[in-house]
Structure 1
Amino acid sequence: MILYPAIDLKGGECVRLAQGDMARATVYNQDPGAQAAAFKAQGFEWLHVVDLDGAFAGNAVNGPAVEAILKATDVPVQLGGGIRSLEMIEGWLARGLTRVILGTVALRNPDLVIEACRLFPGRIAVGIDARDGRVAVEGWAETSEITAIELARRFEDAGVAAVIFTDIARDGLLTGVNVAATAALADAVAIPVIASGGLAGIADIEALMAVAGTPIAGAISGRALYDGRLDPAAALALTRRKAA
Protein backbone atom coordinates (compact mmCIF):
# COMPACT_ATOMS: atom_id res chain seq x y z
CA MET A 1 0.00 0.00 0.00
CA ILE A 2 1.25 3.48 -0.88
CA LEU A 3 1.14 6.18 1.80
CA TYR A 4 0.57 9.67 0.39
CA PRO A 5 1.39 12.74 2.49
CA ALA A 6 -1.07 15.55 1.79
CA ILE A 7 -0.22 19.13 0.92
CA ASP A 8 -3.43 21.16 0.84
CA LEU A 9 -2.98 24.66 -0.55
CA LYS A 10 -4.90 27.75 0.51
CA GLY A 11 -3.57 31.22 -0.21
CA GLY A 12 -0.22 29.73 -1.23
CA GLU A 13 0.27 28.04 2.16
CA CYS A 14 0.09 24.45 3.37
CA VAL A 15 -3.03 24.06 5.48
CA ARG A 16 -5.43 21.47 6.83
CA LEU A 17 -9.17 21.99 6.95
CA ALA A 18 -11.71 20.47 9.30
CA GLN A 19 -14.47 18.72 7.31
CA GLY A 20 -13.60 20.78 4.23
CA ASP A 21 -14.55 24.06 5.90
CA MET A 22 -12.34 26.86 4.50
CA ALA A 23 -13.05 28.92 7.62
CA ARG A 24 -11.51 26.16 9.77
CA ALA A 25 -8.02 26.13 8.30
CA THR A 26 -4.79 25.56 10.22
CA VAL A 27 -1.58 26.75 8.54
CA TYR A 28 1.27 24.26 8.87
CA ASN A 29 3.86 25.65 6.49
CA GLN A 30 4.10 28.87 4.51
CA ASP A 31 6.54 27.29 2.04
CA PRO A 32 4.95 24.44 0.04
CA GLY A 33 8.23 23.64 -1.72
CA ALA A 34 10.00 23.19 1.59
CA GLN A 35 7.19 20.97 2.83
CA ALA A 36 7.44 18.80 -0.28
CA ALA A 37 11.21 18.47 0.18
CA ALA A 38 10.69 17.52 3.83
CA PHE A 39 8.27 14.76 2.91
CA LYS A 40 10.73 13.38 0.37
CA ALA A 41 13.50 13.44 2.97
CA GLN A 42 11.25 11.39 5.27
CA GLY A 43 11.09 8.70 2.60
CA PHE A 44 7.72 9.27 0.95
CA GLU A 45 7.57 8.23 -2.70
CA TRP A 46 4.43 10.16 -3.73
CA LEU A 47 2.82 13.50 -2.86
CA HIS A 48 -0.90 14.25 -2.81
CA VAL A 49 -1.57 17.94 -3.48
CA VAL A 50 -4.92 19.76 -3.47
CA ASP A 51 -5.58 23.31 -4.63
CA LEU A 52 -8.35 24.11 -2.15
CA ASP A 53 -8.99 27.59 -3.55
CA GLY A 54 -9.13 26.08 -7.03
CA ALA A 55 -11.77 23.56 -5.96
CA PHE A 56 -14.12 26.42 -5.10
CA ALA A 57 -13.12 28.69 -7.99
CA GLY A 58 -13.24 25.99 -10.66
CA ASN A 59 -9.77 26.83 -11.97
CA ALA A 60 -6.17 26.80 -10.80
CA VAL A 61 -5.54 29.36 -8.05
CA ASN A 62 -2.41 28.07 -6.31
CA GLY A 63 -0.44 27.43 -9.49
CA PRO A 64 2.79 29.06 -8.25
CA ALA A 65 2.71 26.95 -5.08
CA VAL A 66 2.20 23.76 -7.10
CA GLU A 67 5.09 24.70 -9.37
CA ALA A 68 7.27 25.32 -6.29
CA ILE A 69 6.45 21.79 -5.12
CA LEU A 70 7.36 20.32 -8.51
CA LYS A 71 10.68 22.18 -8.50
CA ALA A 72 11.51 21.20 -4.93
CA THR A 73 11.28 17.44 -5.38
CA ASP A 74 11.40 14.74 -8.02
CA VAL A 75 8.90 12.35 -6.44
CA PRO A 76 5.63 11.79 -8.34
CA VAL A 77 2.90 14.32 -7.57
CA GLN A 78 -0.86 13.98 -8.00
CA LEU A 79 -2.93 17.18 -8.00
CA GLY A 80 -6.62 17.88 -7.58
CA GLY A 81 -8.77 20.96 -7.15
CA GLY A 82 -10.44 22.99 -9.89
CA ILE A 83 -9.14 20.97 -12.85
CA ARG A 84 -12.13 20.85 -15.16
CA SER A 85 -11.00 20.88 -18.79
CA LEU A 86 -8.75 18.91 -21.12
CA GLU A 87 -6.62 22.02 -21.61
CA MET A 88 -5.99 22.29 -17.87
CA ILE A 89 -5.21 18.59 -17.61
CA GLU A 90 -2.74 18.73 -20.48
CA GLY A 91 -1.15 21.90 -19.12
CA TRP A 92 -0.53 20.44 -15.68
CA LEU A 93 0.82 17.16 -16.98
CA ALA A 94 3.17 19.09 -19.26
CA ARG A 95 4.48 21.00 -16.22
CA GLY A 96 5.56 17.83 -14.51
CA LEU A 97 2.59 16.34 -12.67
CA THR A 98 2.44 12.57 -12.71
CA ARG A 99 -1.30 12.34 -12.16
CA VAL A 100 -4.29 14.69 -12.27
CA ILE A 101 -7.28 14.16 -9.97
CA LEU A 102 -10.71 14.99 -11.38
CA GLY A 103 -13.48 15.50 -8.84
CA THR A 104 -16.38 17.83 -9.62
CA VAL A 105 -16.02 17.29 -13.36
CA ALA A 106 -16.32 13.51 -12.84
CA LEU A 107 -19.90 14.06 -11.72
CA ARG A 108 -20.76 16.99 -13.98
CA ASN A 109 -19.08 15.77 -17.17
CA PRO A 110 -18.08 12.09 -17.03
CA ASP A 111 -17.36 12.05 -20.77
CA LEU A 112 -14.47 14.45 -20.16
CA VAL A 113 -12.95 11.98 -17.69
CA ILE A 114 -13.29 9.15 -20.18
CA GLU A 115 -11.66 11.24 -22.92
CA ALA A 116 -8.86 12.32 -20.59
CA CYS A 117 -8.14 8.68 -19.73
CA ARG A 118 -7.93 7.91 -23.44
CA LEU A 119 -5.56 10.80 -24.14
CA PHE A 120 -3.41 10.42 -21.02
CA PRO A 121 -3.45 6.74 -20.07
CA GLY A 122 -2.46 5.96 -16.49
CA ARG A 123 -2.38 9.63 -15.50
CA ILE A 124 -5.98 10.35 -14.53
CA ALA A 125 -7.47 9.69 -11.09
CA VAL A 126 -11.01 10.37 -9.95
CA GLY A 127 -11.62 12.03 -6.60
CA ILE A 128 -14.86 10.92 -4.96
CA ASP A 129 -15.70 12.89 -1.85
CA ALA A 130 -18.72 11.64 0.06
CA ARG A 131 -20.96 13.05 2.76
CA ASP A 132 -23.14 10.32 4.29
CA GLY A 133 -22.35 8.18 1.27
CA ARG A 134 -23.43 10.81 -1.29
CA VAL A 135 -20.98 12.52 -3.63
CA ALA A 136 -20.15 16.14 -2.79
CA VAL A 137 -18.73 18.57 -5.37
CA GLU A 138 -17.71 22.21 -5.87
CA GLY A 139 -15.21 22.12 -3.02
CA TRP A 140 -17.72 20.04 -1.02
CA ALA A 141 -20.18 22.93 -1.07
CA GLU A 142 -22.86 20.85 -2.83
CA THR A 143 -24.04 17.31 -2.15
CA SER A 144 -25.57 15.24 -4.96
CA GLU A 145 -27.97 12.28 -4.83
CA ILE A 146 -25.42 9.92 -6.38
CA THR A 147 -23.56 7.47 -4.18
CA ALA A 148 -19.81 7.04 -4.27
CA ILE A 149 -20.14 3.51 -5.63
CA GLU A 150 -22.53 4.58 -8.39
CA LEU A 151 -20.12 7.27 -9.56
CA ALA A 152 -17.08 4.99 -9.45
CA ARG A 153 -18.85 2.36 -11.53
CA ARG A 154 -19.36 4.87 -14.34
CA PHE A 155 -15.59 4.76 -14.93
CA GLU A 156 -15.06 1.04 -14.50
CA ASP A 157 -13.77 0.52 -18.04
CA ALA A 158 -12.37 4.00 -18.70
CA GLY A 159 -8.80 3.35 -17.61
CA VAL A 160 -8.86 5.47 -14.45
CA ALA A 161 -5.58 5.02 -12.55
CA ALA A 162 -7.15 5.31 -9.10
CA VAL A 163 -10.19 6.46 -7.16
CA ILE A 164 -9.41 8.67 -4.19
CA PHE A 165 -12.25 8.23 -1.71
CA THR A 166 -12.70 10.84 1.02
CA ASP A 167 -15.20 10.66 3.86
CA ILE A 168 -15.86 14.38 4.37
CA ALA A 169 -17.30 13.92 7.86
CA ARG A 170 -13.94 12.60 9.06
CA ASP A 171 -11.54 14.75 7.05
CA GLY A 172 -9.10 16.72 9.17
CA LEU A 173 -10.60 15.53 12.46
CA LEU A 174 -8.30 12.58 13.27
CA THR A 175 -11.33 10.41 14.02
CA GLY A 176 -10.12 7.44 12.01
CA VAL A 177 -10.52 6.36 8.39
CA ASN A 178 -13.90 5.02 7.28
CA VAL A 179 -12.50 1.57 6.63
CA ALA A 180 -15.86 -0.08 5.97
CA ALA A 181 -16.96 2.42 3.30
CA THR A 182 -13.53 2.38 1.65
CA ALA A 183 -13.48 -1.42 1.58
CA ALA A 184 -17.01 -1.52 0.13
CA LEU A 185 -15.96 0.80 -2.67
CA ALA A 186 -12.81 -1.21 -3.38
CA ASP A 187 -14.89 -4.39 -3.63
CA ALA A 188 -17.43 -2.72 -5.92
CA VAL A 189 -15.01 -1.67 -8.65
CA ALA A 190 -11.81 -2.95 -10.27
CA ILE A 191 -10.19 0.50 -10.06
CA PRO A 192 -7.54 0.84 -7.31
CA VAL A 193 -8.96 2.77 -4.33
CA ILE A 194 -7.01 5.20 -2.15
CA ALA A 195 -8.42 6.02 1.30
CA SER A 196 -8.63 9.60 2.52
CA GLY A 197 -10.18 11.46 5.42
CA GLY A 198 -9.61 11.06 9.16
CA LEU A 199 -6.41 9.01 9.26
CA ALA A 200 -5.32 9.37 12.88
CA GLY A 201 -2.37 7.05 13.31
CA ILE A 202 -0.69 3.80 12.43
CA ALA A 203 -3.69 1.76 13.61
CA ASP A 204 -5.67 3.15 10.68
CA ILE A 205 -3.02 1.99 8.23
CA GLU A 206 -3.03 -1.46 9.84
CA ALA A 207 -6.84 -1.59 9.56
CA LEU A 208 -6.78 -0.63 5.89
CA MET A 209 -4.12 -3.20 5.12
CA ALA A 210 -6.02 -5.91 6.98
CA VAL A 211 -9.18 -5.49 4.89
CA ALA A 212 -10.42 -8.78 3.50
CA GLY A 213 -11.33 -8.92 -0.18
CA THR A 214 -10.00 -6.35 -2.62
CA PRO A 215 -6.85 -4.68 -1.25
CA ILE A 216 -6.89 -0.93 -0.65
CA ALA A 217 -4.18 0.58 -2.84
CA GLY A 218 -3.19 3.58 -0.74
CA ALA A 219 -3.95 6.00 2.06
CA ILE A 220 -3.58 9.75 2.38
CA SER A 221 -2.40 11.35 5.60
CA GLY A 222 -2.49 15.03 6.43
CA ARG A 223 -3.03 16.29 9.97
CA ALA A 224 -1.68 13.12 11.61
CA LEU A 225 1.67 13.71 9.92
CA TYR A 226 1.76 17.45 10.59
CA ASP A 227 0.80 16.99 14.25
CA GLY A 228 3.31 14.20 14.79
CA ARG A 229 0.67 11.57 15.55
CA LEU A 230 1.92 9.38 12.71
CA ASP A 231 5.60 8.52 12.62
CA PRO A 232 6.70 8.53 8.96
CA ALA A 233 9.44 5.93 9.38
CA ALA A 234 7.19 3.47 11.22
CA ALA A 235 4.29 3.97 8.81
CA LEU A 236 6.43 3.53 5.72
CA ALA A 237 8.15 0.47 7.19
CA LEU A 238 4.73 -1.09 7.83
CA THR A 239 3.46 -0.53 4.29
CA ARG A 240 6.68 -1.79 2.73
CA ARG A 241 7.01 -4.83 4.99
CA LYS A 242 3.49 -6.00 4.18
CA ALA A 243 4.11 -5.39 0.48
CA ALA A 244 7.34 -7.40 0.43
Structure 2
Amino acid sequence: MIIYPAIDLKDGACVRLVQGDMDRATVFADDPGAQAARFRDQGFAWLHVVDLNGAFAGRPVNAAAVEAIVKAVDLPVQLGGGIRDLATVEDWLSRGLARVILGTIAVRDPALVREACRLFPGKVAVGIDARDGMVAVEGWAETSTMSAVDLGLAFEDAGAAAIIYTDIGRDGTLQGHDAEQTARLAERLTTPVIASGGVASIDDIRAIKAVEHRGVAGVVTGRALYDGRLDPAAALAVAAGRA
Protein backbone atom coordinates (compact mmCIF):
# COMPACT_ATOMS: atom_id res chain seq x y z
CA MET A 1 0.00 0.00 0.00
CA ILE A 2 1.31 3.43 -0.97
CA ILE A 3 1.09 6.43 1.34
CA TYR A 4 0.77 9.70 -0.55
CA PRO A 5 1.74 12.72 1.58
CA ALA A 6 -0.34 15.68 0.50
CA ILE A 7 0.89 19.10 -0.52
CA ASP A 8 -2.12 21.36 -1.00
CA LEU A 9 -1.21 24.67 -2.62
CA LYS A 10 -2.98 27.96 -1.93
CA ASP A 11 -1.39 31.21 -3.05
CA GLY A 12 1.95 29.43 -3.45
CA ALA A 13 2.07 28.04 0.09
CA CYS A 14 1.44 24.56 1.53
CA VAL A 15 -1.84 24.57 3.42
CA ARG A 16 -4.51 22.27 4.73
CA LEU A 17 -8.20 23.07 4.53
CA VAL A 18 -11.04 21.84 6.70
CA GLN A 19 -13.73 20.15 4.59
CA GLY A 20 -12.47 21.94 1.49
CA ASP A 21 -13.26 25.41 2.83
CA MET A 22 -10.75 27.94 1.44
CA ASP A 23 -11.56 30.26 4.35
CA ARG A 24 -10.46 27.59 6.83
CA ALA A 25 -6.88 27.19 5.68
CA THR A 26 -3.84 26.58 7.87
CA VAL A 27 -0.46 27.39 6.35
CA PHE A 28 2.10 24.71 7.20
CA ALA A 29 4.98 25.70 4.91
CA ASP A 30 5.78 28.55 2.56
CA ASP A 31 8.31 26.64 0.43
CA PRO A 32 6.63 23.78 -1.46
CA GLY A 33 9.91 22.46 -2.85
CA ALA A 34 11.44 22.22 0.62
CA GLN A 35 8.32 20.47 1.91
CA ALA A 36 8.55 17.97 -0.94
CA ALA A 37 12.18 17.30 0.00
CA ARG A 38 11.18 16.70 3.63
CA PHE A 39 8.64 14.10 2.56
CA ARG A 40 11.27 12.47 0.34
CA ASP A 41 13.76 12.35 3.18
CA GLN A 42 11.13 10.75 5.42
CA GLY A 43 10.95 7.85 2.99
CA PHE A 44 7.79 8.48 1.00
CA ALA A 45 7.80 7.20 -2.57
CA TRP A 46 5.05 9.38 -4.08
CA LEU A 47 3.66 12.89 -3.61
CA HIS A 48 0.04 14.02 -3.90
CA VAL A 49 -0.28 17.68 -4.90
CA VAL A 50 -3.44 19.78 -5.26
CA ASP A 51 -3.69 23.22 -6.82
CA LEU A 52 -6.49 24.52 -4.59
CA ASN A 53 -6.75 27.90 -6.31
CA GLY A 54 -6.87 26.06 -9.62
CA ALA A 55 -9.72 23.85 -8.47
CA PHE A 56 -11.87 26.93 -7.91
CA ALA A 57 -10.62 28.87 -10.92
CA GLY A 58 -10.96 25.97 -13.33
CA ARG A 59 -7.40 26.44 -14.61
CA PRO A 60 -3.86 26.03 -13.24
CA VAL A 61 -2.91 28.78 -10.79
CA ASN A 62 0.01 27.47 -8.71
CA ALA A 63 2.19 26.37 -11.62
CA ALA A 64 5.38 27.86 -10.19
CA ALA A 65 4.91 26.00 -6.90
CA VAL A 66 4.19 22.73 -8.68
CA GLU A 67 7.28 23.13 -10.82
CA ALA A 68 9.34 23.81 -7.69
CA ILE A 69 8.14 20.52 -6.23
CA VAL A 70 8.94 18.53 -9.38
CA LYS A 71 12.38 20.15 -9.56
CA ALA A 72 13.14 19.56 -5.87
CA VAL A 73 12.59 15.80 -5.76
CA ASP A 74 13.09 12.77 -7.95
CA LEU A 75 9.76 11.27 -6.93
CA PRO A 76 6.61 10.60 -8.95
CA VAL A 77 4.08 13.37 -8.36
CA GLN A 78 0.34 13.25 -8.98
CA LEU A 79 -1.50 16.57 -9.37
CA GLY A 80 -5.12 17.61 -9.23
CA GLY A 81 -6.96 20.92 -9.31
CA GLY A 82 -8.10 22.99 -12.28
CA ILE A 83 -7.27 20.43 -14.97
CA ARG A 84 -10.24 20.68 -17.30
CA ASP A 85 -8.98 20.03 -20.86
CA LEU A 86 -6.60 17.80 -22.80
CA ALA A 87 -4.15 20.61 -23.49
CA THR A 88 -3.68 21.15 -19.75
CA VAL A 89 -3.27 17.41 -19.16
CA GLU A 90 -0.57 17.24 -21.82
CA ASP A 91 1.12 20.37 -20.55
CA TRP A 92 1.37 19.14 -16.98
CA LEU A 93 2.66 15.72 -18.01
CA SER A 94 5.27 17.38 -20.22
CA ARG A 95 6.54 19.22 -17.13
CA GLY A 96 7.49 15.98 -15.43
CA LEU A 97 4.38 14.97 -13.51
CA ALA A 98 3.78 11.25 -13.27
CA ARG A 99 -0.01 11.49 -13.10
CA VAL A 100 -2.80 14.02 -13.35
CA ILE A 101 -6.05 13.78 -11.41
CA LEU A 102 -9.28 14.69 -13.17
CA GLY A 103 -12.19 15.47 -10.87
CA THR A 104 -14.77 18.07 -11.88
CA ILE A 105 -14.31 17.31 -15.57
CA ALA A 106 -15.08 13.63 -14.89
CA VAL A 107 -18.63 14.72 -14.10
CA ARG A 108 -18.90 17.52 -16.65
CA ASP A 109 -17.27 15.78 -19.64
CA PRO A 110 -16.62 12.05 -19.10
CA ALA A 111 -15.70 11.61 -22.77
CA LEU A 112 -12.75 13.94 -22.28
CA VAL A 113 -11.52 11.84 -19.36
CA ARG A 114 -11.80 8.70 -21.43
CA GLU A 115 -9.79 10.33 -24.21
CA ALA A 116 -7.16 11.46 -21.72
CA CYS A 117 -6.84 7.90 -20.41
CA ARG A 118 -6.44 6.65 -23.98
CA LEU A 119 -3.85 9.25 -24.96
CA PHE A 120 -1.85 9.04 -21.73
CA PRO A 121 -2.12 5.46 -20.46
CA GLY A 122 -1.24 5.00 -16.81
CA LYS A 123 -0.97 8.75 -16.26
CA VAL A 124 -4.57 9.73 -15.54
CA ALA A 125 -6.44 9.20 -12.28
CA VAL A 126 -10.06 10.05 -11.59
CA GLY A 127 -10.73 12.06 -8.47
CA ILE A 128 -14.04 11.29 -6.78
CA ASP A 129 -14.73 13.78 -4.02
CA ALA A 130 -17.96 12.97 -2.21
CA ARG A 131 -20.15 14.56 0.41
CA ASP A 132 -22.64 12.11 1.96
CA GLY A 133 -21.97 9.75 -0.93
CA MET A 134 -22.69 12.33 -3.65
CA VAL A 135 -19.95 13.71 -5.90
CA ALA A 136 -18.86 17.32 -5.32
CA VAL A 137 -17.29 19.48 -8.05
CA GLU A 138 -15.78 22.93 -8.65
CA GLY A 139 -13.38 22.75 -5.73
CA TRP A 140 -16.09 20.99 -3.68
CA ALA A 141 -18.23 24.13 -3.84
CA GLU A 142 -21.06 22.29 -5.64
CA THR A 143 -22.65 18.90 -5.01
CA SER A 144 -23.74 17.00 -8.11
CA THR A 145 -26.60 14.54 -8.49
CA MET A 146 -24.24 11.62 -9.18
CA SER A 147 -23.20 9.10 -6.55
CA ALA A 148 -19.58 8.22 -5.98
CA VAL A 149 -20.23 4.60 -6.90
CA ASP A 150 -21.95 5.52 -10.18
CA LEU A 151 -19.10 7.82 -11.17
CA GLY A 152 -16.54 5.14 -10.41
CA LEU A 153 -18.46 2.56 -12.43
CA ALA A 154 -18.71 4.97 -15.35
CA PHE A 155 -14.94 4.80 -15.82
CA GLU A 156 -14.44 1.08 -15.23
CA ASP A 157 -13.39 0.45 -18.82
CA ALA A 158 -11.60 3.75 -19.39
CA GLY A 159 -8.16 2.62 -18.26
CA ALA A 160 -7.73 5.08 -15.39
CA ALA A 161 -4.63 4.47 -13.30
CA ALA A 162 -6.54 4.92 -10.05
CA ILE A 163 -9.64 6.32 -8.40
CA ILE A 164 -8.79 8.79 -5.64
CA TYR A 165 -11.76 8.80 -3.30
CA THR A 166 -12.05 11.66 -0.83
CA ASP A 167 -14.63 11.85 1.93
CA ILE A 168 -15.11 15.63 2.05
CA GLY A 169 -16.90 15.56 5.38
CA ARG A 170 -13.79 14.17 7.01
CA ASP A 171 -11.08 15.88 4.98
CA GLY A 172 -8.79 18.00 7.12
CA THR A 173 -10.82 17.30 10.28
CA LEU A 174 -8.63 14.58 11.83
CA GLN A 175 -11.84 12.69 12.64
CA GLY A 176 -10.48 9.44 11.26
CA HIS A 177 -10.95 7.81 7.87
CA ASP A 178 -13.96 5.60 7.13
CA ALA A 179 -12.00 2.66 5.75
CA GLU A 180 -15.08 0.48 5.42
CA GLN A 181 -16.86 2.99 3.21
CA THR A 182 -13.80 3.26 0.97
CA ALA A 183 -13.50 -0.53 0.84
CA ARG A 184 -17.14 -0.88 -0.20
CA LEU A 185 -16.50 1.45 -3.12
CA ALA A 186 -13.30 -0.38 -4.05
CA GLU A 187 -15.11 -3.74 -4.08
CA ARG A 188 -17.46 -2.43 -6.77
CA LEU A 189 -14.55 -1.44 -9.03
CA THR A 190 -11.62 -3.10 -10.73
CA THR A 191 -9.67 0.18 -10.81
CA PRO A 192 -7.42 0.57 -7.74
CA VAL A 193 -8.81 3.00 -5.16
CA ILE A 194 -6.72 5.48 -3.15
CA ALA A 195 -8.33 6.56 0.12
CA SER A 196 -8.36 10.17 1.25
CA GLY A 197 -9.95 12.28 3.96
CA GLY A 198 -9.75 12.35 7.73
CA VAL A 199 -6.61 10.32 8.37
CA ALA A 200 -5.66 11.21 11.94
CA SER A 201 -3.38 8.51 13.34
CA ILE A 202 -1.54 5.27 12.81
CA ASP A 203 -4.81 3.48 13.58
CA ASP A 204 -6.28 4.88 10.36
CA ILE A 205 -3.30 3.59 8.40
CA ARG A 206 -3.78 0.16 9.99
CA ALA A 207 -7.50 0.20 9.16
CA ILE A 208 -6.83 1.08 5.52
CA LYS A 209 -4.06 -1.52 5.30
CA ALA A 210 -6.57 -4.08 6.58
CA VAL A 211 -8.82 -3.48 3.55
CA GLU A 212 -6.02 -3.38 1.00
CA HIS A 213 -7.07 -6.82 -0.26
CA ARG A 214 -10.50 -5.39 -1.12
CA GLY A 215 -8.98 -3.01 -3.67
CA VAL A 216 -7.68 -0.09 -1.61
CA ALA A 217 -4.19 0.48 -3.01
CA GLY A 218 -3.12 3.61 -1.17
CA VAL A 219 -3.98 6.49 1.13
CA VAL A 220 -3.50 10.25 1.00
CA THR A 221 -2.68 12.01 4.26
CA GLY A 222 -1.82 15.60 5.01
CA ARG A 223 -2.68 17.39 8.23
CA ALA A 224 -1.77 14.43 10.46
CA LEU A 225 1.75 14.44 9.00
CA TYR A 226 2.16 18.19 9.28
CA ASP A 227 1.12 18.44 12.91
CA GLY A 228 2.98 15.34 14.08
CA ARG A 229 0.02 13.11 14.86
CA LEU A 230 1.24 10.57 12.32
CA ASP A 231 4.84 9.38 12.48
CA PRO A 232 6.15 8.85 8.93
CA ALA A 233 8.37 5.87 9.76
CA ALA A 234 5.61 4.09 11.66
CA ALA A 235 3.08 4.76 8.91
CA LEU A 236 5.40 3.48 6.19
CA ALA A 237 6.15 0.36 8.21
CA VAL A 238 2.43 -0.44 8.48
CA ALA A 239 1.87 0.26 4.79
CA ALA A 240 4.68 -2.12 3.87
CA GLY A 241 3.35 -4.84 6.16
CA ARG A 242 6.33 -4.63 8.50
CA ALA A 243 4.30 -3.59 11.56
Q: Same fold (TM over 0.5)?
A: yes
Give the letter for the 1:78 counterpart.
Q
Equivalent residue, structure 2, for 1:158: 158
The answer to whether residue 149 in structure 2 is matched with residue 149 in structure 1 is: yes
Give the 4+ runs in structure 1 shifted more than 4 A.
none
Equivalent residue, structure 2, for 1:201: 201
Deviation per residue, 1:124-160 (Å, 9 max, x gap):
0000000000000000000011100000001001100
The answer to whether residue 63 in structure 2 is matched with residue 63 in structure 1 is: yes
Equivalent-residue separation in structure 1 for 2:39 and 2:213 (angstroms): 31
Contact 1:187 1:213 (8 Å CA) reproduced? no
Equivalent-residue separation in structure 2 for 1:235 and 1:137 (angstroms): 30
Gaps of 5+ in 2: none
Equivalent residue, structure 2, for 1:176: 176
Equivalent-residue separation in structure 2 for 1:101 and 1:212 (angstroms): 21
- Other structure's SS at 2:241 match: helix
Give the letter for the 1:236 counterpart.
L
Give the letter for the 2:56 counterpart.
F
Equivalent-residue separation in structure 2 for 1:165 and 1:85 (angstroms): 21
Give the letter for the 1:71 counterpart.
K
- Other structure's SS at 1:218 match: strand
Contact 2:136 2:142 (8 Å CA) reproduced? yes
Aligned-CA RMSD value: 1.1
Deviation per residue, 1:152-194 (Å, 9 max, x gap):
0010011000000000000000000121220111001100000
Contact 1:160 1:191 (8 Å CA) reproduced? yes
Alignment of 1:3-152 (within 5 A): 3-152=3-152
Equivalent residue, structure 2, for 1:2: 2
Cα deviation for residue 211 of structure 1 reads: 2.1
Cα deviation for residue 242 of structure 1 reads: 5.4
- Other structure's SS at 2:225 match: helix
Equivalent-residue separation in structure 2 for 1:159 and 1:34 (angstroms): 34
Normalization by structure 1: what TM-score? 0.98
The answer to whether residue 198 in structure 2 is matched with residue 191 in structure 1 is: no
Give the letter for the 2:2 counterpart.
I
Cα deviation for residue 212 of structure 1 reads: 7.6
| Cα distance change of structure 1 residues 27 and 212 upon mapping to structure 2, 3 Å threshold | closer
Counting aligned pairs with the same residue, the percent is: 67
Gaps of 5+ in 1: none
- Other structure's SS at 1:25 match: strand
Equivalent-residue separation in structure 1 for 2:192 and 2:31 (angstroms): 31
Normalization by structure 2: what TM-score? 0.98
Query: For this pair of structures, how many residues does the alignment match?
Result: 243
Equivalent-residue separation in structure 1 for 2:140 and 2:101 (angstroms): 15
Equivalent-residue separation in structure 2 for 1:24 and 1:56 (angstroms): 15
Equivalent-residue separation in structure 1 for 2:119 and 2:14 (angstroms): 31
